[in-house]
Chains A and B, each alone.
Chain A
Amino acid sequence: MCLMTKKTLSLPLVFYLFFNVSAFAQNTQIKGFIDVLGTYDDSVSFGLGEQDLFITSELSDRLSFLGESVFKFSPSSSTQFSVSIERVVIKYNIQGNHNLILGKIHSPLNYWNDTYHHGRVFFPTIGRPLLFNAEIIPLHTSGISIQGHDLGKAKFGYDVVVGNGLGSSDIVDNDKRKSVILAMHIKPADRLRFGISFYNDAIAKGATIHDKINKWKVKQNLYSASASYFGKKFELLAEGTLASNHTDTTGSKNTLASYAYVGYKANKNVVPYIRVDNLHYQNGEVYFRKDNTTSVAGGLRYEINYLAVVKLEYQYQNSEHAPNTNKVTAQFAIGF
């Protein structure tokens, strides 16, 4: 019955989409990014970052595809490298600036995740903010979404996403519950953007997540806000997420993860910058790995051109459960 309903709903859409592809000159492009690193903490070491390939293809007047695959170091692999599909975006333009998106997307919860993806050449700093490493927000969502952008004078944009949710794989949901993302932003002036988002999910008991088995059913709400300004002289990006994880045993426990980045364009190539990150977990948190952390990173970004960027960065990190670290990292990131 359920299968019949799915077929009934999807067949007309499939017919419409594919028979509407009339005498269209397909335009497919392949581009990529990679970075190499040198790090000094107590010794010097060199390493490869991720090799990111992304493909875009215009399939018809209204239908397009974007795929992003990453090759990265994986010690458990026999070749020491693994391939992951980071995005599969099949986009259908409904009308004007409103699109229907099917596939796997970067969850549009904040500016960084929705903008930089795996392209290190775009990152204003060497690495992602701590709230990504601490897995506070779900980086990806597999599902369906409606997206709009640049609407009206305020250049309003929105995303409504329904996905498999945390604990699921990219091919099947592990429970009946779906994750929901509601996000909106405005761009009231050139280079200025404000955004807010809400994420709701229930993570099943027994689901494997963050490399461990979830011992409780967790009801999660994420409230995020961001402000960004990348002007001709100054760059500012500040984002925060308040995560509320509820279990029947512990009740609701809140985690606040935030960071602020400031850069100054000394000239067209050189940008000194600083980023401060903070993770604060409430006592009794059982879903995240509780580890209150503060980090300060200062660096210099030298943009050779839009396809080649060198960064040199010092980072100090103070964590609840690990010794303080001081690290100097150099990165050469390119697009090709």
Chain B
Amino acid sequence: MIKSYIAGNINKLLLLLAILCAGPASMAQVSALTVISNAKGTPETLRFSELKSIFMGEQQRWRNGTKITLALMKTNTDVGKVTSFKVYGMSGDELNKFWLALVFQGKAAAPIFFNSVSELENFVAHNPGAIGITDQLAANTDIKTIMVEGRKIL
């Protein structure tokens, strides 16, 4: 019974373990990130360099031609702060400036920013080609967790 429960929820338990091991986070209460995407038309795995390229607006379409839509937590949320630091190597303010400049230059469409993880998940679930960063593994069949460098947790 316990074994089957563990086997069925191993990803969630690993994520919980990673969060607990992080202890009191200095920057925010979030230390582990996951990359989720719409279940259709997005890859199963990415290298970190590819992930960064996508979230920097350098790669704007998936290999099958589907437009990539970025979903991020607002930079004043805990997940948003950790995303800015871990994925972009920037502060939240630098990230906002980076995207405002890129949109102003006409080089890319801005990410959609969300206040809550559930809103972000819902957006990703309903938009083919969408990819987002949260602190939770994919929880329904419309979205999937993308492995980055072979891991489900960033």
Residues of chain A within 8 A of B101, CB atoms compared:
115, 119, 122
Residue-wise, chain B 81-113 has the 8 Å CB interface mask toward A (1 for contact) of 000000001010110110011011111011000
In the complex, the answer to whether B100 meets A306 with C-beta atoms within 8 Å is yes
A293-335: which have CB < 8 Å to B? 303, 305-307, 335
Stretch at the interface among B21-29, B57-65, B130-138, B145-153: B57-65
Q: Among B53, B96, B110, which residue has its beta carbon within 8 angstroms of that of A306?
A: B96
Residue-wise, chain A 90-134 has the 8 Å CB interface mask toward B (1 for contact) of 010101110000000000000000110101001000000000000
A200 at the interface (CB under 8 A from B): no
B40 at the interface (CB under 8 A from A): no
Q: Among B59, B89, B104, B109, which residue has its beta carbon within 8 angstroms of that of A54?
A: B104
Top-5 shortest CB links A-B: A306-B97, A150-B58, A66-B106, A306-B96, A306-B93
B67 at the interface (CB under 8 A from A): yes
CA distance A61 to B67 in the complex (A): 7
CA distance A155 to B91 in the complex (A): 24
Given the interface pairs A150-B59, A306-B93, A306-B96, the reply to whether A122 lies near B106 with Cβ below 8 Å is no
CA distance A307 to B97 in the complex (A): 8
CA distance A226 to B91 in the complex (A): 27
Tier of interface size on chain A: 20 to 34
7 further interface pairs, Cβ-Cβ under 8 Å (given A31-B103, A150-B59): A31-B100, A56-B103, A62-B67, A93-B60, A97-B59, A117-B104, A119-B101
In the complex, what's the smallest C-beta–C-beta distance from A320 to chain B, in angstroms? 35
In the complex, the answer to whether B61 meets A96 with C-beta atoms within 8 Å is yes
Residues of chain A within 8 A of B103, CB atoms compared:
31, 56
CA distance A117 to B100 in the complex (A): 13
> Can you give 26 contacting A-B residue pairs, CB < 8 Å?
A29-B110, A54-B104, A56-B103, A56-B109, A58-B109, A64-B109, A89-B106, A95-B61, A95-B65, A96-B60, A97-B61, A114-B105, A117-B105, A119-B101, A122-B101, A122-B104, A149-B58, A150-B58, A150-B59, A155-B58, A303-B93, A305-B93, A306-B93, A306-B94, A306-B97, A306-B100
A268 at the interface (CB under 8 A from B): yes
CA distance A306 to B94 in the complex (A): 7
In the complex, what's the smallest C-beta–C-beta distance from A93 to chain B, in angstroms? 8
In the complex, what's the smallest C-beta–C-beta distance from B150 to chain A, in angstroms? 22
